[in-house]
Amino acid sequence: MPNKPQQEKADKNKYAGRSFLDYNEACNYLGIKKVTLHKYMATLNIKSHKFELERKHFLQIEDVKRIENVINEPWTVNELKKKSEDVRFLR
C-alpha cells in the first residue's frame, strides 16, 4: 500500500494577526491531518478552547507554533513537554 503524500501547508500570511485557529485551520497551517493534530495535542498536553457562541474548538496560535516546532525538530518534544507541565503546575 503506497503512502499518501503529505498535505500542502497553507500560506502563513493567511493567518497573520490571528490569536486562535480552529482545528481545520490549524491542520492547514501545519499541513497535517486532524488525527495527527490530536496526537500532537495529547503528546504536548495542549488543550483546546471553546468559546460560548461557537460550536468549534480552537487552538491558540502559540500552541500551533509549538506543534510546528516539534514537526520540524522532533528531538525537542521532551523539552517542550516539560515546559508545558511546568506552566500547568503554576496555574
Number of domains in the chain: 1
Q: Is residue 58 included in any domain, yes or no?
A: yes
Q: Is residue 1 included in any domain, yes or no?
A: no
pTM (global) more than 0.85 = no
Report the SS3 class of residue 50.
Answer: strand
Residue type, 55: R
Q: Is residue 22 included in any domain, yes or no?
A: yes
| CATH number for the domain harbouring residue 65 | 1.10.1660.10
Q: Is residue 69 included in any domain, yes or no?
A: yes
Q: Number of helices (H) and strands (E) in the chain: give both, helices first.
A: 4, 3
Q: Is residue 39 included in any domain, yes or no?
A: yes
Q: What is the per-residue pLDDT across 3-60, written as a single tens digit (0 to 9) for each?
A: 555 666 777 778 888 899 999 999 999 999 999 999 999 999 999 999 988 889 999 9
Task: Tell me how far apart the alpha carbons of residues 56 and 27 are, in angstroms, rounded to a whole number.
Answer: 14
